[in-house]
Structure 1
Amino acid sequence: MSTNRLILVFFFFCVGFVATAQNARINGIVLDANNQPIDNVNVVCLGNSAQSNANGFFELSVPANRKVVVIFTHISLKKSTVSIFLKPNEEYEFNLVMNDYQEQMGEVIVVSKNKKRIQGITTIEPEVIRKIPGANAGIENILKTLPGVNSNNELSTQYAVRGGNYDENLVYVNEIEVYRPFLIRSGQQEGLSFTNTDLVQNVDFSAGGFQAKFGDKLSSVLDITYRKPTKFGATLEASLLGGSLAVDAVSKNRKWSVITGVRYRDNSLLVKSQDTQTNFTPSFADIQTNINYQASSKWQWSFLGNISQNKYQYQPLSRQTNFGTLDNPMALLIYYEGQEKDKYDTYFGAVKSTFKVNNNFTLKFIGSVFHTLEQEYFDIFAQYRLGEVDANIGSETYGDVNFARGIGTQLNHARNDLDALIVNTEVKGIYDWKENQLEWGVKYTRESIRDRVVEWEVIDSAGFSINPPIVILPKNDQPYSSYTGPLVPYQNVRATNFNTINRFSGYAQWSRKDRIGSSEVWYNAGVRLHNWEVLGDNIVSKSQITISPRAQFAIKPNWEKDMVFRLSGGMYHQPPFYRELRDASGVVQPNVKAQQSVHIVLSNDYSFKMWNRPFKLVSELYYKSLTDVNTYTIDNVRIRYAATNNAKAYAQGLDVRLNGEFVPGTESWLSFGYLKTEENSADRGFIARPTDQRLKFGLLFQDFMPNIPSVKLYLNLVYNTGLPGGSPSYADPYLYQNRLKDYRRADVGFSKVLINNSTNIDRSWLKSFKELEIGLEIFNLFNNQNAITNTWVRDVYSKNQYAIPNYMTTRVFNVKLNAKL
């Protein structure tokens, strides 16, 4: 099908939408006047009912996006009612005291986003995450449509936020910090993100100016909560890229609940659309479970576990990449021998216990272990020809290389192994007092790293060995005279590191809601401390400490227009992780200091109605001043640090996001971001940082066919201006800087609902399905050629070096089936 026809199909489907029914949940504990739990309390709302257990606990599903009344009745106590308004998939805790002499009445308009609106947190609905198409569908796929979040690699789940890099983002699942593998250097090696979207209940994201309770990173926080099942259920997804299965289970006494997900992914469909022809046999699989136990009305336990095994076997065969101009078309032809075998095994387990001392005081204990075993082995021999392409239309050799400007060979070798064990223990407390809330926490982390790096590269051109340009060797003017100096690898890194890092951190913060005149105001102030020390053989390290004060202030004027103004910021530190301690030669530098950043974020949140439907416009102006910067280079998704603190930098920009019901009953959004970030290394002057993504446009859109509401459309569109990058890894950025071309991508999906809750099914084998959908996805709808890096080919004879772009995926079709039991 031609591109024009695909565009016509896309616009044909972009009309109207029908809202589907969605639910929320209310749960809590019913107590008597003596604060004792009451069992057998009937809880009813619009035909749905539940009953409190021996611990007084209840849980009830209620309709979302409408005001409903929940009724509590007991044979010996007065009836109580509460009026609530919840958002889809929202879970609201309501603890009730029932008595025998007074009926309780009340109204609770609950929108969890109100509190998060004050904190500058973006909330993303799980249903949107699961439906929106993308080559790497999931939470990170949606994040890349938000302003200030940038990525130009659809095969990767990594993202950069407001001038930071991939290592500067915090990720939590159920308040537990999670980690990603260390050695991955290419997006197509990643396979699966840690987060299983089939298990997600709530997703919160902050792009800067976040509170002290969040950890020590410079850029962003992604805070994910997995759902607690209320009844048995299962979801299934299968596509040409893999599949997943998630199962919910609840015990009869409702004290135990378990949700488990299994996933498998195969990126062959995407990788085989690239220029390089390969034998590609990946195996990306994981199993993840979240177990919850309600020990009593005051004590809850949970376990989060994950086992992931990613095997990446890659055997390149050949490649032809055309480049150059219309007047001078050129091509690079490569024939390969050898293969790459990478393996990333990760094991993660965490226990969380929550004890409610009283209605105002809550304690939490969190313990977690992360273990990763990684190996990166490859020997790839490449023979290349660089030549001119026959551009004469009608010629029998049209498109072929008819004159070779240069020939050469390249041999890449690696035997990299890494074994990392990270153990965390943490205690947190929350105390509510009148309109104030105090939060505190202390944490100990031990990181044990065993790392071996052995990798080298040898290059020759027309039979002449090419020496590394950064090494001072005897003059080399081959082929005009023979070279008498030593033959050395073009690149050579060899190191063995055994290190232990001990960390102690803690935080305390205060929040308060108040009024100034007729305006509502919110205050938050806190401080973090972090102490760490690097230990290892032949290492002399000193203990270091950072102090990070942070604050937020928000005000909601008593205006006719619903606006919130927010000012947030503080001093943020990022103590170095192991990757930041290792320099380009693989050697650990133990005394690398924490990078520092001063955040200032000024934002406006305006909620309004347009076309009689809700909309929100969020604008944020930010500035970050960074000192003790540890400079780095990015190659695909591999980051290599200088392991020094000899630079300073800044990032400034504007983020704007308009979201709302462009089509009734759905959420879509448009986003725009402007960013400028530069660094000054060793007082040589300011130049663009590797993440200097100047302009960004994002669109996420949902629609349906007017006369066939069971057919829906989902569109994910991203445009980013080019990043600095693609230059040789050894190049001095002050002497040579290159920008990649603009990144443009549109992914579109169509789904047909075969069965939903309102469908009447007579056939017995279909009655067990609550939902059944079949869909078609088109990745890279307009077939844009996006480059992630350049391959640099040297030709000794002509003394030229050519940049050949490494293109990402072309247009790809995928078929998907979703079912819910």
Structure 2
Amino acid sequence: MKKNLYSILFALLCASGFSQTAQIKGVVLNDQDFPIKNVMVQAQNKQVYTNANGFYYMDVEAGNDITIQFQAENYQPVTYIESVAANQSFELNIRLSPAAEELKELVIDSNLRKRFEGTTVISPDVIRKIPGANAGVENLLKTLPGVYSNNELSTQYAVRGGNYDENLVYVNEIEVYRPFLVRSGQQEGLSFTNTSMTDKVDFSSGGFQSKYGDKMSSVLDITYRKPSQFGGSFDASILGGGLTVDLASKNKKWTAITGVRYRNNALLVKSQDVDVDFTPRFLDAQSLITFQPTAKWEWSLLLNASSNVYEYTPLFKRTKFGTIQDAKELQVRYQGGEIDRYQTYFGALKGVFKPNLQNSYTLIASAYHTKEEEYYDIWGSYALGNVSGDLGGNAGEVEYTVGLGSQLNHGRNNYDAFIVSAEMKGQHKLDETEIEWGVRYVSEDIRDRLLEWEVIDSAGFSLANPYFSTPNNQPYEPYQGELVPFQNVRATNFVTINRLNGFAQWNKRGTIGKHETFLNFGVRAHYWNVAAEGYETSKGQITVSPRAQFAIKPDWETDMVFRLSGGLYHQPPSYRELRAMDGSIRPNVKAQQSIHVVLSNDYSFKIKSTPFKLFTELYYKDLSNVNTYTLENVRIRYRADNNAKAYVYGADVRINGEIVPGIESWFSVGYLKTEENYNNRGFIARPTDQRLKLGLMFQDYMPAIPNLKLYLNQVYNTPLPGGSPSYVDPYDYQLRLKNYMRSDAGFSYIFKDQTFNSNKKWLQPFKEVAVGFEIYNLFNNENAITNTWVRDVYSKVMYAIPNRMTMRTFNLKLNMSW
């Protein structure tokens, strides 16, 4: 059975492994905060002893669930369980308590806290391996239940009925931003997160704590690694490549990790049904520099610069659609093109002061600057024809033309934003209780010009704006009204937003009888005001958001954890939410509000000797002050009026298993329903009402060829709303796109790593070398992101022509590290 499975999957799958060493270091103190010498520290059959200052360090093999034991005479032993990534310098400071009459060992499992908090922990090693058209952490998130996307070229995702603007992303506790003007996934190029620099990835899809910011859907919390020695990695493929270098001083006080990436999506875009000249150049560089002058102080500097240039010149498009009985074909010839530029610069200074093991203080100052241009003039003339169904020589050819027309799109959009912030946080531990607090100030200075219009001509007759009052009955009656564009938006905005927010939360680990418990309670507050040139300055607004979590691990033979979490979540408006569809600013837009309740359970068990974990969550959201929006590919346009209410409910199930020891795979199922009621007109589906989602992430190897690693990344989503034109009233048109199904697969052959050594001379300088072959969209599914609407002026019939995503594409990869 299993051999048959390998035979089926052999042609499908891919990736490369990274299994290296790491360093664990720290200080061991007694209950009076004095250092303890000669403490034995054991891990992976290695042992070291603390010096006179209580300091220790040791090299270990990177991997999951490393058990670290601390033992000293007259002190209670402590066992700590932690996951340590390759090339990471992990700091673990421990306090030992005096031994009682009966010597007991204290076991601290850091993964148990993640279970109590309901956080999904994703291995960076898995992220690097799994194939995808836009590889990275977002690529893997899309296989999780409750996370939805029907655009493989985009790093954006929706979570549990929310939209792309409702997700928080942190790197080393620093909130990061994404470009504003991007309207198409193929324009994105690179995610902010550099996978090769990643150490830890935590993801929460709802019910998260108060320490996380003011968004309503999810939190992605990423930690870059701190190197322990010189090293690096290099990866290259047909789509681009990257180089990462790790540096560390001899005394380990200075470390630096720097990554440079280049991306070119031409191979993917040219697999679409549009013949194009396409020149994308996506380049970025990131660096994390750390300095630890003493055991109490640590400073770090995170820098990022990216330059994305997108040049797009469509030439010809040919799309077949319809049914066998009524097959049609659209042919479009283009002139003109599009040039977009996105330049972003980001820097953050972080200082951490730990006067003792109970207290720590963090100061973060950051600045973000983006300059974006979106210029396009694209004219397309189309011919819509009936396709012959004759089985003779003309089968599949256009018999006659039923519609002619043209369309001209013009845009000159500029966006310039400068955002600075300063933040202070504290953490205090008292036995089983922990208190955290923080305060943050943010200033946003935004300069925005929006100028875009569209003219549509059908069979020589100009089509007026659908909301224009003068009737247009061409060709049956002469049109005597004013000639206006079909769509026209013009606005210039200068906006300043000042924000002050803060949080306080309390955590407690305890017991009820013999059952372990975790309780978290916290509150966030957010104050902001908006000043827009030419508009009345808004009144300051404030929100208060209480949140809570409760988890219990029963003292059963069955390993289970039950959680209940939720609270009141607010999303104070960003600039995008303040800008209405006509480009005007609404300074007094309120914060959207969501009452969120999550009930969840995770269950660890074994089938024979194979470990599995089953995660189940039920959730409900009640939303008010909803700012309704439309989705155009990945661009969101808001009504900016808070005149709606909505709800979301659903269930997520995920089962993880180590089919091969140490290699995790999972299968997920998600169901949700979300509807909104605008101006009391009744409930209709929201743009993210994607009912059913299936996701699979599979890893394995072939027993006959153990060096060959196999991988599969598969997603199936039921149709999203969005099949109707964006300018129509959604209450009149509730059409949906087709199902989205995509499989990315491949294999990777390992020449050398920690498991497979080699005596070949050319491999001696390297720790790991692997080559891979990937297949994107394995089954060549014709997925669509939107529809183009073409009108036959005589019959008044509107035809929906799907704008298809990428088709089957092949890629070669090389990965190496030293």
- Shorter-chain TM-score category? over 0.9
1:264 aligns with 2:262: yes
| Structure 2 letter corresponding to 1:338 | G
Kindly indicate whether the alpha-carbon contact (under 8 Å) linking 1:508 and 1:528 is maintained by their aligned counterparts in 2.
yes
Report the CA distance shift for 1:336/1:106 in structure 2 as closer, same or farther (over 3 A): farther
| RMSD over aligned Cα atoms | 2.8
Report the CA distance shift for 1:118/1:529 in structure 2 as closer, same or farther (over 3 A): same
State the shift of 1:24 in Å.
5.9
Counterparts of 1:130-209 in structure 2, within 5 Å, are 130-209=128-207
Q: Secondary structure at 1:86's aligned position in 2? A: strand
State the shift of 1:709 in Å.
0.8
1:606 aligns with 2:606: no
State the shift of 1:394 in Å.
3.0
Task: Tell me which residue corresponds to 2:502.
Answer: 506
Counterparts of 1:118-129 in structure 2, within 5 Å, are 118-129=116-127
Give per-residue Cα distances to partners, 1:768-791, cap 9 Å, x unaligned: 110000001000111111010000
State the shift of 1:96 in Å.
4.7
Task: Tell me which residue corresponds to 2:573.
Answer: 576
Task: Tell me which residue corresponds to 2:422.
Answer: 425
Give per-residue Cα distances to partners, 1:679-704, cap 9 Å, x unaligned: 00000000000000100111111011
| Structure 1 letter corresponding to 2:82 | L
1:533 aligns with 2:529: yes
- Residues in 2 aligned to 1:20 and 1:367: alpha-carbon distance in whole angstroms: 33
Counterparts of 1:447-466 in structure 2, within 5 Å, are 447-466=444-463
Task: Tell me which residue corresponds to 1:734.
Answer: 731
- Residues in 1 aligned to 2:175 and 2:618: alpha-carbon distance in whole angstroms: 28
- Residues in 1 aligned to 2:138 and 2:430: alpha-carbon distance in whole angstroms: 37
State the shift of 1:477 in Å.
1.5
Report the CA distance shift for 1:591/1:764 in structure 2 as closer, same or farther (over 3 A): same
Bigger Cα displacement from structure 2, 650-659 vs 537-546: 537-546
1:802 aligns with 2:799: yes
- Counting matched residue pairs gives 811
- Residues in 1 aligned to 2:547 and 2:66: alpha-carbon distance in whole angstroms: 37
Kindly indicate whether the alpha-carbon contact (under 8 Å) linking 1:632 and 1:639 is maintained by their aligned counterparts in 2.
yes
State the shift of 1:614 in Å.
1.9
| Structure 1 letter corresponding to 2:509 | K
- Residues in 1 aligned to 2:36 and 2:253: alpha-carbon distance in whole angstroms: 16
Q: Secondary structure at 2:687's aligned position in 1? A: coil
- Residues in 1 aligned to 2:97 and 2:676: alpha-carbon distance in whole angstroms: 65
Give per-residue Cα distances to partners, 1:310-349, cap 9 Å, x unaligned: 1000000000000111011101100001010000000000
- Residues in 1 aligned to 2:488 and 2:94: alpha-carbon distance in whole angstroms: 67
Q: Percent identity?
A: 59
Task: Tell me which residue corresponds to 1:748.
Answer: 745
Counterparts of 1:709-788 in structure 2, within 5 Å, are 709-788=706-785
Report the CA distance shift for 1:676/1:151 in structure 2 as closer, same or farther (over 3 A): same
- Residues in 1 aligned to 2:378 and 2:363: alpha-carbon distance in whole angstroms: 48
Unmatched tracts of structure 1, length 5 or more: 1-5
- Residues in 2 aligned to 1:13 and 1:82: alpha-carbon distance in whole angstroms: 48
- Residues in 2 aligned to 1:82 and 1:627: alpha-carbon distance in whole angstroms: 49
Report the CA distance shift for 1:266/1:177 in structure 2 as closer, same or farther (over 3 A): same
Q: Secondary structure at 1:661's aligned position in 2? A: strand
1:333 aligns with 2:327: no
- Residues in 1 aligned to 2:468 and 2:531: alpha-carbon distance in whole angstroms: 31
| Structure 2 letter corresponding to 1:662 | I
Give per-residue Cα distances to partners, 1:620-665, cap 9 Å, x unaligned: 1100000000000001101000001100000000001111212332
State the shift of 1:364 in Å.
0.5
Report the CA distance shift for 1:581/1:757 in structure 2 as closer, same or farther (over 3 A): same
Kindly indicate whether the alpha-carbon contact (under 8 Å) linking 2:242 and 2:262 is maintained by their aligned counterparts in 1.
yes
Task: Tell me which residue corresponds to 2:519.
Answer: 523
Report the CA distance shift for 1:711/1:357 in structure 2 as closer, same or farther (over 3 A): same
Q: Secondary structure at 1:185's aligned position in 2? A: coil
Kindly indicate whether the alpha-carbon contact (under 8 Å) linking 2:80 and 2:109 is maintained by their aligned counterparts in 1.
no
Kindly indicate whether the alpha-carbon contact (under 8 Å) linking 1:121 and 1:206 is maintained by their aligned counterparts in 2.
yes
| Structure 1 letter corresponding to 2:519 | Y
- Residues in 2 aligned to 1:286 and 1:520: alpha-carbon distance in whole angstroms: 46
Give per-residue Cα distances to partners, 1:585-644, cap 9 Å, x unaligned: 111110000000000111111111222222111111100000000000001101000001
- Residues in 2 aligned to 1:723 and 1:18: alpha-carbon distance in whole angstroms: 34
Task: Tell me which residue corresponds to 2:115.
Answer: 117
Kindly indicate whether the alpha-carbon contact (under 8 Å) linking 2:13 and 2:746 is maintained by their aligned counterparts in 1.
no
Report the CA distance shift for 1:259/1:158 in structure 2 as closer, same or farther (over 3 A): same
Report the CA distance shift for 1:222/1:556 in structure 2 as closer, same or farther (over 3 A): same
Counterparts of 1:359-758 in structure 2, within 5 Å, are 359-395=357-393, 397-473=394-470, 475-540=471-536, 541-758=538-755
State the shift of 1:112 in Å.
2.5
State the shift of 1:764 in Å.
3.7
Report the CA distance shift for 1:511/1:34 in structure 2 as closer, same or farther (over 3 A): closer
Report the CA distance shift for 1:156/1:514 in structure 2 as closer, same or farther (over 3 A): same
Kindly indicate whether the alpha-carbon contact (under 8 Å) linking 2:145 and 2:669 is maintained by their aligned counterparts in 1.
yes
Task: Tell me which residue corresponds to 1:3.
Answer: none
Kindly indicate whether the alpha-carbon contact (under 8 Å) linking 2:254 and 2:292 is maintained by their aligned counterparts in 1.
yes
Q: Secondary structure at 2:577's aligned position in 1? A: helix
Report the CA distance shift for 1:758/1:433 in structure 2 as closer, same or farther (over 3 A): closer
Report the CA distance shift for 1:88/1:442 in structure 2 as closer, same or farther (over 3 A): closer
- Residues in 2 aligned to 1:324 and 1:14: alpha-carbon distance in whole angstroms: 31
Give per-residue Cα distances to partners, 1:334-372, cap 9 Å, x unaligned: 000101000000000001111012221111001111110
Give per-residue Cα distances to partners, 1:502-534, cap 9 Å, x unaligned: 000000011111211221211111110000000
State the shift of 1:798 in Å.
2.4
Give per-residue Cα distances to partners, 1:561-581, cap 9 Å, x unaligned: 111111111000000000000
- Residues in 2 aligned to 1:703 and 1:803: alpha-carbon distance in whole angstroms: 42
Report the CA distance shift for 1:360/1:760 in structure 2 as closer, same or farther (over 3 A): closer
State the shift of 1:303 in Å.
0.8
Q: Secondary structure at 2:807's aligned position in 1? A: coil
Give per-residue Cα distances to partners, 1:472-528, cap 9 Å, x unaligned: 12x221112321111111110000000000000000011111211221211111110
Report the CA distance shift for 1:107/1:747 in structure 2 as closer, same or farther (over 3 A): farther
Kindly indicate whether the alpha-carbon contact (under 8 Å) linking 2:14 and 2:710 is maintained by their aligned counterparts in 1.
no
Normalised to the residue count of structure 1, the TM-score between the two structures is 0.94
Report the CA distance shift for 1:96/1:728 in structure 2 as closer, same or farther (over 3 A): closer
1:310 aligns with 2:335: no
State the shift of 1:381 in Å.
0.8
- Residues in 2 aligned to 1:763 and 1:711: alpha-carbon distance in whole angstroms: 18
- Residues in 2 aligned to 1:34 and 1:339: alpha-carbon distance in whole angstroms: 70
Report the CA distance shift for 1:411/1:8 in structure 2 as closer, same or farther (over 3 A): farther
State the shift of 1:224 in Å.
0.5
Kindly indicate whether the alpha-carbon contact (under 8 Å) linking 1:55 and 1:296 is maintained by their aligned counterparts in 2.
no
Give per-residue Cα distances to partners, 1:715-763, cap 9 Å, x unaligned: 0011110001121111111111111111111111200001123555444
- Residues in 2 aligned to 1:657 and 1:598: alpha-carbon distance in whole angstroms: 24
Give per-residue Cα distances to partners, 1:388-412, cap 9 Å, x unaligned: 11232332x4333231111111111
- Residues in 2 aligned to 1:497 and 1:715: alpha-carbon distance in whole angstroms: 46
Kindly indicate whether the alpha-carbon contact (under 8 Å) linking 2:44 and 2:66 is maintained by their aligned counterparts in 1.
no
Task: Tell me which residue corresponds to 2:343.
Answer: 345
Bigger Cα displacement from structure 2, 764-773 vs 625-634: 764-773
Bigger Cα displacement from structure 2, 613-622 vs 568-577: 613-622
Report the CA distance shift for 1:546/1:694 in structure 2 as closer, same or farther (over 3 A): same
- Residues in 1 aligned to 2:53 and 2:135: alpha-carbon distance in whole angstroms: 40
Unmatched tracts of structure 2, length 5 or more: none
Bigger Cα displacement from structure 2, 553-562 vs 759-768: 759-768
| Structure 2 letter corresponding to 1:670 | F
Kindly indicate whether the alpha-carbon contact (under 8 Å) linking 2:297 and 2:352 is maintained by their aligned counterparts in 1.
yes
State the shift of 1:87 in Å.
3.3
